[in-house]
Amino acid sequence: MNCMEARALVEDALDKTIAGSRKRALDLHLSRCDSCRAFFAAEREEHRRWFVAMNEPNARRVLPDGFSDEFLAEMARRKAQPQRFWFIVSKFGRMAACIAAMLLFTLFSYAVVKVVGRSGDASVGAEALAEASAERVGEASAPLANGADIVVEPEAEVLQEASSASSADFPQQMKGDTIMSKVKAAAVALMAAVVSSPAVTVADSNGDGYIESEGDAYISLGHCAGPNTKMEVDFQLTEVKYDTKPFGSWGNHTALPMFSLYISYVNNETDQRFSWDCTDADGQRQAYNMDSADLNRHIISFDAPSRTYVSTNVTEGGEAYIHEFSKAVSNATNSYPLAVFARGADRPATLPGHFGGATKMRVYGMKIYESGSLVKTYTPCLKGGIPGLKVTGPGVDTFVTGIDVSKVKYGGDILVEKDDPYISTGDYNDVTKGAEAGKCIYLNTGYTVKPTTRVELDFAPLTPSPSVAAYNHAPEFMCAKGPARSSPRADNLLEIVGRTSTGNLGYKVGYSDYHDFIEKLNIGSVPMTTAYGIRRTVSAGGHSISLITAGFTNGTDTISANWGVETDLTTTPLYLCTANVGNDFAPMKIYGLKIYESDALVKDFRPIVTNGVAGLVDALNPSDIRYASSYGSGYALTFAAGGNHACTDGSDEAYLEFDGSNARIDSGVVVTKDSVIEADFALANAKYSNAQQVMFVQNGSDGVLASLYMNSEFKYSYQFRDFTGAANGINSGVLASNERRQFKLDGPNARMTIKCGDEVLCNQTITEGERTYTGGSTTLKIGPDSTMRLYGFKVTTNGSVVRDFVPYVMNGVAGLYDVCGERFYPLPGGKVRGRGSKGRDEFLSKPKHVLITRYGAGSTATLRCVAPGALRYEWREDNVLMDETSDSLTLSWVQNKPHTRTYKATPIYEVLGETVKGESVETRIDFAMLGTSIIIR
Amino acid sequence: MTEKRGMDIEEEIKAHPESGAKRLVAEYGDRLYDTAVRLCVDESLARDLVSRTLQRAIERIGLFRGSSRFYTWLYTILVNFWRMELRKRKSEHVVFTDELPDRPDDGADPAEALAAKADAEEIRAAVESLPLHYRSVTVFRYFEDMSVPEIADVLGVPEGTVKFRLHKAKKMMRRRLAQTIGGDDTSKGEERKEQ
């Protein structure tokens, strides 16, 4: 390699992209050539100086004041202008423009044909057609070429020209003096729909989100159509099948369809057509064969007030099929809600509205208008893992899904939303939530039902016990017992169960009327086999009960007049998640429970998670929080929590979760009579079975010296060995539960306390003899025989803190970090959840300012962060992500990269299964003059 | 709020367009603007480029697949807008400096002398004085800390072109700096003391 060849590689050398034989040749040349070595050194130095100059912090420009506000205002303004939608959803806009162009082409073609017909001169007509086509299509397509804004409207003069044409020149469905005004209205409406809403927007990619029915996936839209209704559906059949019904509804108990689109055929089954079925103003059924039913994507708009049907074949370029109905639709508002994924003649009569679903199709979006105003927009959405339609509109924000959610599929770039906050027992198959014989989770609301009480339970049933087929195992989602009954099952006063007395799965209410009469009512014919996972509301009280799904009332029944005759109807409060037998429970999610007295809301229970423990809180009385309980004794079961994080109380303190596999952390410390032990913990699904369940223990040579455990009465107890060598135990009298507790054994002051926050549950004096044990032969081990959440653990001996543990994760392994000794104690298999710790800074250790004063290979330094509960850390260098796995970041410097950089560390936590970022800290790394030592401080 | 805090910015723009737009401006606006000013040496145009870049990013957020860093994606959009500006201004005169004499090997250490005199402001002014094509590679190289292959990728030109432009840009820079702060116009050809 000569000098010229070597110097040609200077940029590669600065980039460090040179390698292999070229690098060896360059290194060899530089080792021999003083001039080139100087050249490279000068280049590096120049590079460094220019780099520093360009990146001087005080030379950086910032956006002018007001930019942000102006930008956001501009974005809002553009969003508010439909014609600017071209830019906002340009992905969709081109296809929208294509549709516009095609539509206009069609309209103007009609106009020209009319001219031809009037003049009788075919050549003139042809020229006119060509001119009109070129002009209109050219205008409409111009924006496609230059990307400018697009405003598409049929031009008035051409439409007027067309509207005066002889009806003989137009297809049958285009007849009538007002046909072009209808066409214009339909065209304008269609384009307005296309440009104003992504939900009904034609898209040019196959990435559009959709939900799909592979059959039997009926979805009620919760909206009843009437004479002023207009609906638009963006959909695509995946099977063309005679007499299936993509969407619509039936009429007012007359078995007449209304707003019903179904598949028919003309002459032979190869000519499949969309058909519109509706009831006219005279109460007569009217069915119209329309455009071809195919596997293309269509937007079909049915407008009752203007009697128009517009079908746009999106796949084939947006050609519109327009039809005007000769008769007005019925002026009655329908009793049955509109639905999608419906089917026809073979529908099961049990489905709501007699409009079941076997249609195989995809839905990309829907809109419903009333009297010209958009009232509901339906957008495909995956909410809480369940596909369905998000419903938005004035005062509307809800979600609907199929009657059999397992039949609803989804695809494309679908909107994803978290579920609403809920607490959950888990499925029956979740062994931690009650599948084991003898374990049963329930929630006591503490509220006694009265004859005047009305309850509204917002819930979703989950997979029940396999024994649910047996009638006496029917899950009871809500239950209050009646008086003087020996059995917990037969006399339930007000219950919602998952199985009817006839043996058919369904919902029922059962109650006793104090005359030992039990009445069971079906409240809708929803098969339980298809009901799992779907959110429903049961409203029961007074003399009526109803089941509501996504705004649709599945069924209503009347409770016997005997209800409420007596006033002392109940002997137990209202329970949730109960069962017909003691060893069972009702698997369910609870979204809320409202209790009314004489129509006044008195309890408004909502999901909440307080420091990791899920329960229900009364929004009217926030101090009333209800956690899970268990039947019998020996268990402390807990609910799971999910959905939006809004259900947390905001603390989310970090805890180390022991999985109950007997893994313990050896604290390495020996406690004595002069020690103070403080444990902040909560059991989770703890159980008492064959052995006492230990939360921590220190053994001596002849037995237990110090141990907190759950005794056979399912109460917290402290065991120790006194100075005589005898084993002693103090029963705190505090029942074990899944709620958080603070235990303190104060040796020097001879006192044991158990608290729940500020509430003292136990405060006992320990006698001198009792507390006088000697040092153990082993160290204190932390860890239970069952699941436990440990928020903190502290040992003080002779007034000095010897261990101060906080939950911590190091290199992906969970455990405890001793703040006192700055040492990590791993717990293999453990998990850390939550963030921060009460009373502590979010960061125990932060990266500090570092001064680097030398460059070159080997010049490194390590920054480290310690935040209780953090699963990992995100490290950024000048806001560029550098690492997101480790709690430390090692920096290195090379000679050609000298400047000041800022490093930011952000802890990443897990809260309710979601990753959450904590507050960040920053430090700055400086590069000083060459030739001095490295100083890291 | 915790939900938003945990979101990547692209997710937030999709889920909450308004707050996502605010966050986009807050986190990336200044940095893009700084780059834009250095590229076009026109604060008004830079502001316009940033506005168009952010707007386009919001519109096309669905196209960001996370295969590159988010800022790199934004940066590419900015550069594309700027290249469109370049095309509009293609009539701008580009000064070639091939006629500049090579620096004589006189035994001095002009680079050190130059570095000692040149302050950062003069260096930045020298960059801003460069013709468009040379200014862009210089900004990418010394401000964005990009390698030659990265610059070639962003500009859509061969690596050899980038190296050529860098070579020319450096020569122009040295000449400008030599004029403004009295140093020589190059720093090559002489042995330096080892560090």
pLDDT at A99 over 90: no
CA distance A213 to A356: 12
CA distance A799 to A747: 11
CA distance A799 to A671: 12
3 state DSSP class of A706: strand
What's the pLDDT at A440?
75
Reference A442, options A501, A495, A506, A384; nearest CA is A495
> Which of B2, B51, B123 is nearest residue A50 as measured by Cβ atoms?
B123
**Cβ–Cβ contacts within 10 Å for residue B100, how many?**
14
- Chain B, residues 29-68, CB within 8 A of chain A, namely 29-31, 33-34, 37-38, 43, 46-47, 50-51, 54-55, 58-60, 62
CA distance A763 to A734: 11
Closest approach of chain A CAs to the CA of B92, in angstroms?
Answer: 24
What's the pLDDT at A360?
87
What's the pLDDT at B185?
40
**Cβ–Cβ contacts within 10 Å for residue A690, how many?**
6
Could you tell me the strand order of the sheet in which A268-279 lies?
A219-224, A337-342, A245-250, A257-266, A268-279, A285-292
Percent of the residues in chain A that have a pLDDT greater than 70, as a whole number = 65
What's the pLDDT at A818?
94
- Count A/B contacts: CB-CB distance under 8 Å: 157
What's the pLDDT at A473?
57
**Residue numbers in A near B71 (CB within 8 A):** 879-880
User: Cβ contacts of residue A852 below 8 Å, gap of 6+?
Assistant: A859, A861, A891, A893, A925, A926, A927, A928, A934, A935, A936
- Chain A, residues 402-421, CB within 8 A of chain B, namely 413, 417-418
Asked if the Cβ–Cβ distance from B62 to A644 is below 8 Å, we say no
What's the pLDDT at A580?
58
* Of A809 and A145, the one with more pLDDT: A809
With b for 16 or more beta-carbon neighbours within 10 A and e for fewer, the A303-340 pattern comes to: bbbbbbbbbbbbeeebebbbbbbeebbbeeebebbbbb
8 Å CB contact between A625 and A615 = yes
> Which of A43, A49, A881 is nearest residue B115 as measured by Cβ atoms?
A49
DSSP A698: E
Asked if the Cβ–Cβ distance from A50 to B142 is below 8 Å, we say yes
Find the mean pLDDT for residues A408-413.
88
Pairing of β A415-417 and β A373-383: parallel
Asked if A206 reaches chain B (Cβ–Cβ under 8 Å), the answer is no
**Residue A550: both structure tokens together:** 């996504």
CA distance A427 to A432: 10
CA distance B143 to B39: 10
What's the pLDDT at A80?
59
CA distance B87 to B13: 31
User: Cβ contacts of residue A333 below 8 Å, gap of 6+?
Assistant: A224, A225, A226, A227
- How many residues are there in chain B? 195
A353: left (phi over 0), alpha (psi -120 to 50) or beta: left
8 Å CB contact between A139 and A152 = no
8 Å CB contact between A869 and A904 = no
- How many residues are there in chain A? 937
Asked if the Cβ–Cβ distance from B47 to A63 is below 8 Å, we say yes
The end-to-end CA distance of chain A, in Å, is 45
* Of A337 and A902, the one with more pLDDT: A902
- Chain A, residues 832-891, CB within 8 A of chain B, namely 855-856, 879-881
| C-alpha of A385 from chain center | 7
What's the pLDDT at A796?
95
pTM for the whole structure: 0.59
One-character DSSP codes across A380-418: EEEETTEEEEEEEETTEEEEE-BSSGGGEEEESB-EEEP
CA distance A365 to A362: 9
Residues β-bridged to residue A340: A219, A247
What's the pLDDT at A666?
93
pLDDT at A219 over 50: yes
Instruction: State pLDDT tens for residues A261-283.
Output: 877 777 666 778 888 888 888 87
Asked if B195 reaches chain A (Cβ–Cβ under 8 Å), the answer is yes
Asked if the Cβ–Cβ distance from A42 to B2 is below 8 Å, we say no
What's the pLDDT at A402?
79
Reference B185, options B113, B128, B130, B86; nearest CA is B113
Instruction: State pLDDT tens for residues A222-265.
Output: 888 888 999 999 999 998 887 778 888 765 445 555 677 877 77
Asked if B84 reaches chain A (Cβ–Cβ under 8 Å), the answer is no
8 Å CB contact between A824 and A698 = no
Find the mean pLDDT for residues A841-868.
78
**Residue A290 pLDDT class (50, 70, 90 cuts):** confident
User: Cβ contacts of residue B173 below 8 Å, gap of 6+?
Assistant: A50, B123, B126, B127, B130, B138
**Residue numbers in A near B43 (CB within 8 A):** 61, 64
A298: amino acid identity, one letter: H
Q: At what angle do helices A20-32 and A34-54 cross, to 10 degrees?
A: 110
* Of A476 and A415, the one with more pLDDT: A415
Asked if B142 reaches chain A (Cβ–Cβ under 8 Å), the answer is yes
**Residue A920: both structure tokens together:** 């960040």
Residue for token digits 């079906």? A522
What's the pLDDT at A174?
30
pLDDT at A425 over 70: yes
What's the pLDDT at A135?
31
**Residue A853: both structure tokens together:** 């004063």
**Cβ–Cβ contacts within 10 Å for residue A228, how many?**
16
8 Å CB contact between A479 and A571 = no
Asked if A915 reaches chain B (Cβ–Cβ under 8 Å), the answer is yes
**Residue numbers in A near B123 (CB within 8 A):** 49-50, 53-54
Q: Which range (A289-293, A856-860, B87-91) has the least confidence?
A: B87-91
**Residue A673: both structure tokens together:** 């009579």
The reply to whether ipTM tops 0.90 is no
Instruction: State pLDDT tens for residues B11-68.
Output: 888 878 888 888 888 888 888 888 888 887 778 888 888 998 998 888 878 777 665 5
- Segment of A87-91, A452-456, A602-606 carrying the highest mean pLDDT: A602-606
**Residue numbers in A near B55 (CB within 8 A):** 71, 74-75, 78, 87
**Cβ–Cβ contacts within 10 Å for residue B93, how many?**
6
Reference B78, options B56, B105, B108; nearest CA is B56
**Residue numbers in B near A17 (CB within 8 A):** 147-149
Asked if the Cβ–Cβ distance from B6 to A915 is below 8 Å, we say yes
Closest approach of chain A CAs to the CA of B93, in angstroms?
Answer: 25
Q: Which range (A391-405, A439-453, A539-553, B15-29) has the least confidence?
A: A539-553
Residues β-bridged to residue A763: A753
Q: Which range (A734-738, B90-94, B95-99) has the least confidence?
A: B95-99
Mean pLDDT score across all residues of chain A: 73
A812: amino acid identity, one letter: G
B187: amino acid identity, one letter: S
**Residue numbers in A near B58 (CB within 8 A):** 75
Asked if B164 reaches chain A (Cβ–Cβ under 8 Å), the answer is no
Pairing of β A621-630 and β A441-444: antiparallel
Asked if the Cβ–Cβ distance from A931 to B195 is below 8 Å, we say yes
**A732 CB-contact burial (10 Å; exposed 0-12 / middle 13-18 / buried 19+):** buried
pLDDT at A88 over 50: no
> Which of B2, B69, B189 is nearest residue A35 as measured by Cβ atoms?
B189
3 state DSSP class of A674: coil
Instruction: State pLDDT tens for residues A554-607.
Output: 667 777 665 554 555 556 788 888 765 555 678 889 999 999 998 899 999 999
Nearest CA in chain A to B63: A91
Instruction: Please report, to the nearest 10 degrees, the dihedral formed by the alpha carbons of residues A884, A886, A892, A897 taken in order.
Output: 10
pLDDT at A159 over 70: no
Q: Where are the beta strands (DSSP E) in A21-163?
A: none
Reference A400, options A343, A472, A457, A341; nearest CA is A341
Task: Give the DSSP H/E element, type plus range, for residue A93.
Answer: helix A90-119
* Of A112 and B179, the one with more pLDDT: B179
Task: Give the DSSP H/E element, type plus range, for residue B126.
Answer: helix B120-128
Instruction: State pLDDT tens for residues A605-617.
Output: 999 988 788 899 9
Residue A209 vs residues A167, A417, A826, A866: alpha-carbon distances, Å: 41, 13, 45, 42
Task: Give the DSSP H/E element, type plus range, for residue A266.
Answer: strand A257-266
8 Å CB contact between A449 and A568 = no
Reference A766, options A822, A728, A709; nearest CA is A728
Asked if B149 reaches chain A (Cβ–Cβ under 8 Å), the answer is yes
Q: Which range (A164-173, A467-476, A909-918) has the least confidence?
A: A164-173
CA distance A147 to A90: 9
Mutate to test the interface with B, among A7, A9, A11, A90 (most CBs of B within 10 A): A11
Asked if B137 reaches chain A (Cβ–Cβ under 8 Å), the answer is no
CA distance B61 to A716: 55
| C-alpha of A310 from chain center | 36
Find the mean pLDDT for residues A666-686.
87
3-state helix vs strand vs coil in chain A, percent to 5 = 20, 40, 40
